[in-house]
Amino acid sequence: MSNALKVLLACTLLAGGCAQSVQSPQSLYAELGGQAGIDRIVDGLLWEIAEDAEIRALFADTDIQRFRNKLAEQLCAVSDGPCVYTGDSMRETHRHLAVTSAQFNRLVDDLIRVMERERIATGAQNALLQRLAAMRGDIVAE
């Protein structure tokens, strides 16, 4: 292995070390900005959905105010916040919608862009995405 390769490898490992040291011990709920932060994420996501013709149609029969409340409650519960999700199951709410893989990915992309705009830390974004990705099987019609 040449010296140049060793130097680059060392830089790579150092970069990883830095990323670790800035990680906070906060709960995911706190890293998302608590309930106020989650409310901003939900509202941002509603705007993204409204502008995305590919997924807007899925919400044609949705009571937006109820959806807004239940999604905020769900994100709070999923991120270990002080909430209990009282809405219907993911399987039940998506059963008749025939959600495609593409629509699911577009919503994930919308959510990521909202979290970037809200300056949510990358680690918190990834932690939330990991928890939400586990629900994909109940949402997407295979």
4 lies in the site for other proteins, by CB under 8 A: yes
Does the footprint of other proteins cover residue 122 (CB under 8 A)?
A: yes
Q: Quick check: 53 and 110 in contact, CB under 8 A?
A: no
CA distance 142 to 139: 9
Q: Which stretch binds other proteins (CB under 8 A): 16-24, 33-41, 63-71, 75-83?
A: 16-24
Give yes or no for residue 83 binding other proteins (CB under 8 A).
no
Which of 12, 26, 62, 89 is the binder for other proteins (CB under 8 A)? 12
Q: Is 60 near other proteins (CB under 8 A)?
A: no
How far is CA 50 from its chain centroid? 17
Question: Distance (Å, rounded) from C-alpha 30 to C-alpha 115?
Answer: 14
Q: Which of 99, 122, 124, 107 is nearest to 38 (CA)?
A: 124
Q: Candidates 19-27, 59-67, 73-81, 85-93: pick the segment binding other proteins (CB under 8 A).
A: 19-27
C-alpha 65/C-alpha 119 separation (Å) is 25
Binding site for other proteins (CB under 8 A): 1-2, 4-5, 8-9, 12, 15-16, 19-20, 23, 54, 100-103, 105-106, 108-109, 112, 121-124, 126-127, 129-130, 133, 136-137
